[in-house]
Amino acid sequence: MDGNVMIIPLRHIEKTEEISDQEWTSFGEVLAKTKKVLGEIFKTESFNVGLNIGLESGASIPHLHWQIVPRKFKNITTLNTFADLYIVATTPLQTKKMIDDALKNNL
């Protein structure tokens, strides 16, 4: 799906127990803004939000990060019926430009 965004804390954090109250508050603010911007760009109010903790969870480095993925109903095609594939209509650079433009309008 278009718009997969990763939020990474500024401070190196590996475990949720290490996150301060202020960092949790900041994360909530960044998450809300990210969802708003992605929702406007991709015309959805539905998201998957995931937190990877540890190397076995799929994290490639020992650092907490949240994935925010906008979701919407797919057009049913042979590709996504049998393989759950979704054709992305924009390039990563086009998606980055859409996000950058939306952020300028939402700051």
State pLDDT tens for residues 76-105. 555 555 555 555 567 778 888 888 888 887
Strand 65-71 relative to strand 46-52, pairing? antiparallel
Q: What is the pLDDT of residue 87?
A: 54
CA-based angle 92:97:4, to the nearest 5? 45
Answer for the pair 93, 100: CB distance below 8 angstroms, yes or no. no
Mean pLDDT in residue range 9-27:
93
Superfamily name and number for 5-106: HIT-like (3.30.428.10)
This prediction has a pTM of: 0.73
Contacts of 62 (CB under 8 A, 6+ apart): 14, 54, 55
Sequence spans of domains, the chain: 5-106
| Angstrom distance (rounded) from CA 18 to CA 21 | 10
Residue in this structure with the two tokens 């406007």, named with its chain if needed: 40
The residue written with tokens 């949720």 in the block is 16
